[in-house]
Homo-oligomer: A and B are copies of this chain.
Amino acid sequence: MATLESVTQALAALSITPSDTVEHASASSPAEWKEALQTASGAPKEFELLKVLVFKPKTAKGATPVPVVVVARDTTETSSSSLAKHLNLKDLRLASEDLLSEFFSLDKDSLSPLILTAETFPRVTTVIDVSLATAPVPLAVRALSSHKTLFLSGADISAYLRTLEIAETKLHEVDFVALKGDAAVGTAAQPKQPTDRKEKKPEKEDAKIEGAVQIAIGVKKEVDFAAWYTNVLIKADMLDYYSVSGCYILKPWSYSIWETIQEWFNSKIKEMGVENSYFPMFVSQKVLEREKDHIEGFSPEVAWVTRAGQSDLEEPIAIRPTSETAMYPYYAKWIKSHRDLPLKLNQWNSVVRWEFKNPQPFLRTREFLWQEGHTAHLTKAEADKEVLEILDLYRRVFEELLAVPVIPGVKSEKEKFAGGLYTTTVEGFIPTSGRGIQGATSHCLGQNFSKPEMFNIVVEDPNDPTGQGKTYVWQNSWGLSTRTIGVMVMVHGDNQGLVLPPRVASVQAIVVPCGITAKTTEEQRLAIAAKCEELVATLKKVGVRARADLRDGYTPGYKFNDWEQKGVPLRLEIGPQDLAKSQTLGVRRDTGAKAPISLAGIETAVPALLETIQNEMFTRAKDLYWSRIKPVTEWAKVVPTLDDKCVVVLPWCEVESCEDDIKERSGRAAEPQDERAPSAGAKSLAIPFDQGHWDPIIPGKTKCPACGRDSKRWTLFGRSY
């Protein structure tokens, strides 16, 4: 097996000194890798990515496969069908992780020419991109790891591989550009069932947007959604990668959205009598592990502090993955009488869940920001009521602030919060991937945490005539995280970048001076600038978050792109014509619609237009969501409907084994799994509270399409995040 040391020695023998290994956030896609390198210290200013693809040719059963290893510049189009034809092989498919593991003891994100050694080279067919030798800048080469990279020149890479050649096994040098020309007249069949994201590569080249200028998003949302998403986040200045894998920097452009959500939500929960507080981030092992079901849900992901300075701690201390068990011993202490109820505390903090799956900004991160509310009540009725009140606030955060439609409902027993009684949810939907996404959850914990063998949170029952009765309190917990922001980006963003709903945009209207040419007098120029500033001042007075972009040295076109990319809802242009007519040209980010607005009525026109944008964004997203929710009553239609990027609503039996079965059966037949979206099988997403959208279920007559048992309620099933 190749090790970094052994390979470095081999290179040294050729007088090739690679750069120091650069460590960076673990990166999977090329876009991620590139971003990670640009963030990391030690990477050269200019470099190209090197790609290494491993294909498995169709092999007779029982025969040992000879994998094809392609080493190419990332910018080179490496069509697998053309290559197959060229090598006279049938049906090249990207190798499975198993094969990679067997041959190279590595995963695909660690692939590098360095996997080729005297040991492995004879067992594979190696193809090298002819243009490699002439690459003008250093190439980024995976240092046998997804989070370590070194840099070598193309010439050095070729030189190294040449040393491995033996009589029986030579390098295949391929001119992919010429090959493409040949393939254009060829008829090699495209693989029908791609088994890996990377095989889509040739198709994904289409994602590059024609004529896109340097600052635009660069890939199409519909074609390479994962790359589009991270590009939008980076280019809209929402976020940056960070040197600890799975953690991200929230820049002001996204953090301000979180602040808006906080302010709104705080005002609402304070009206409900909830108070904010702060509990420590640390939890002792004993306390954390108090509730068995609960901790089972979290323990694989708990981060442990074991050392402080140079001293090992007596006992490891956990960083909270959530705070139920940390808080409730104190609830037991504080709640001495029914007069101490309800107790309603909330905290805004960050929690840590050390996921080992691929991280995705906002959606799956090792640390994330959220609020967690924890309340205790005398009766179940009070607890039930609050669960729904909070859920409705969550719905309003999505719908009224983020213009993202969600469906409120209850989770199945299988999907509920570990240790709770029941979980309510607002379920969102990402049309581009056709996947459901959990928006936020409000749990009733019942008396599970308050019971005597658990935290023993008990009061005398004031309604018991004997005065002897005890009541274990009824508890809720509820949380909303920065995931909200990721969902908003995915739902509204387009191929120009981010699209922000006005209510959460930190800049709602950007004023840009236009139409200034060589002929424009200095006086006119100053008058336009002054008018822009005046307009901003006027708008600020009526509460519009407006800003003027008076930067020198940038063209209006550049500024338009810049603010479009950042999603500012409304652009207001002022040129000499506008000045003359006392108007401004308004351009909506969401629709691109342009219309002049008279400066006379601007104080009412702009706020009204922003409201219109907010409402129309929501309505469009809602219509799209509902157009993708398909009631299905026969099993045969489930997978095709899911494959059409829809969510299915089944008249479901609510039996857990049936749910497992649906996931299994829908996963098996499913589309190739996108590694960023872990569930290819359909899960139950929610049982919507409003069942009136679909035909009434007739007890004893309507049957579950998955198992044939009696149906209970219409339930959303879908692939999900």
Contacts and interface: CB of A to CB of B under 8 A. Distances in A.
Contact of A309 (B300, B329, B339): B300
Interface stretch (A240-248, A433-441, A519-527, A646-654): A240-248
A275 interface: yes
A277 interface: yes
B281 A367 contact: yes
A293 interface: no
Interface in A305-336: 305-311, 316-317, 319, 329-330, 332-334
A304 B308 contact: yes
Interface string A291-303: 0000000011111
A576 to B, nearest CB: 26
Contacts of A280: 242, 244, 247-249, 367
A310 B299 CA distance: 8
Contacts of A39: 329-330, 333
A485 to B, nearest CB: 11
Interface centre among A252, A283, A302 (most CB of B within 10 A): A252
A634 interface: no
Nearest to A250: B278
A50 to B, nearest CB: 22
Given A277-B251, A280-B367, A306 B304 contact: yes
Interface residues of A, number: 62
**How many copies of this chain sit in the oligomeric assembly?**
2
Nearest to A283: B244
A287 interface: yes
Given A255-B277, A277-B250, A244 B302 contact: no
B240 A330 contact: yes
B305 A319 contact: yes
A354 B244 contact: no
B305 A303 contact: yes
Nearest to A551: B339
B303 A354 contact: no
A23 B317 CA distance: 14
A282 B252 contact: no
Nearest to A286: B23
A350 interface: yes
A301 B307 contact: no
A162 to B, nearest CB: 34
Nearest to A311: B356
A244 B300 contact: no
30 contacts: A41-B287, A41-B329, A41-B332, A240-B330, A240-B333, A243-B287, A244-B280, A244-B282, A244-B283, A244-B317, A248-B280, A249-B277, A249-B278, A249-B280, A251-B277, A255-B275, A255-B277, A255-B278, A258-B278, A278-B350, A281-B281, A281-B352, A281-B367, A282-B367, A303-B307, A304-B305, A304-B306, A309-B354, A311-B356, A349-B350
Given A23-B286, A280-B367, 7 more contacts: A249-B278, A255-B277, A258-B278, A307-B316, A308-B354, A309-B354, A349-B350
